Amino acid sequence: MNISNFDMNLLRAFDALMRERNVSRAAQRMALTQPAMSNALNRLRNLLDDPVLVRTSQGMQPTPKAMGLEKPIRTALASIEQSLAPEPDFDPLSSHQVFHIATTDYVELLLLPRLIKHLDMVAPNVRLEIHSLGPDIPETQLEEGEFDFAVGRFPEVPNRLLSEFWCSETLVCLVRRDHPNLGDAISIEQFLEIGQIWVSGGQRTGLVDQWLKENNLTRNVVLTTPNFLMAPNIVAQSDMLVATPLTIARQYVDILNLKVLPLPMELAPFDLHTIWHPFHAGTSAHKWFREQIQLLEVEEAK
């Protein structure tokens, strides 16, 4: 028998017939008419080349072949039903799930203190594992489930991934408070001349360099680092400047004797997004965690 020609609905009919040993009762079990169930039995007999049920003095009884098929078919039907059953709701209070997030040290500073505090209240056993976010979107890791999410600035997100806006940030200049050449503002000429740190932070090109390129200008980058949180420490001990998100500047301005200056050019705020692969998006745990990230942003905006 060629399984490709087999109507899978007949498996349910077979199971009902084996349970009831009666065509009328099997029809009632499946909410079919008796002629429809009789037709199903005839089709089973033809496909299996076996009577399936035969009339005896004790009523309808299964043939040896039908009895041999009863358990494996019933097990297969149960497995299919279980596989298609709705996933149970995610219970954050009892879950020990580990969520893997790819991001930069800047987003860690922005997100993790609040997220950990929040999870401690609503999901005390949930754990986080943070992975470094490089210049390329980790599409393969997201697809294969190595990362659950990536959070950061993504100028272009592949169509195969899903994304959700999280928050916006502004860039500012950060220099040491007693800088010999800079007061409370910086001109474009000073900006281009002063030695700078460029924090790549998972990017190939930053917003400042995009603006400079569009205006045929270049700046004096003397150090490139992937670490946002290291740059303020270097700036505090030198005459260099770093263009950095306002959140980082606020974090370190008093601790390290630094001061914040506005950029000498007008740049729009940049957006941070959460991205993930749709292959994993349907699980209740995945949906719940995305909601927690968004909830933090809503609370921050109030």
Q: Are residues 25 and 63 in the same domain?
A: yes
| 247, burial (CB in 10 Å: exposed 0-12, middle 13-18, buried 19+) | middle
What residues make up the domain containing 138? Answer: 98-166+272-301
Handedness of CA 63, 65, 71, 77 (dihedral sign): negative
DSSP structural state of residue 286: H
Model pTM score: 0.70
Q: Are residues 161 and 297 in the same domain?
A: yes
Helices (H), the chain: 9-20, 23-29, 34-48, 64-84, 105-122, 139-144, 188-193, 207-214, 231-236, 246-252, 284-301
Residues 64-76 pLDDT 10s: 999 999 999 988 8
pLDDT of residue 2: 56
Q: Are residues 208 and 256 in the same domain?
A: yes
Residues 75-118 pLDDT 10s: 888 888 777 766 678 899 999 999 999 999 999 999 999 999 99
Residues 125-155 pLDDT 10s: 999 999 999 888 999 999 888 999 999 999 8
**Could you write out the DSSP letters of every residue in 225-238?**
ES-TTTHHHHHHTS
Residue 157 lies in a domain: yes
Q: Are residues 180 and 263 in the same domain?
A: yes
| 156, burial (CB in 10 Å: exposed 0-12, middle 13-18, buried 19+) | exposed
Q: For residues 259 and 145, what is the distance between their CA atoms, to the nearest angstrom?
A: 42
Task: Residue count of the chain, please give it.
Answer: 302
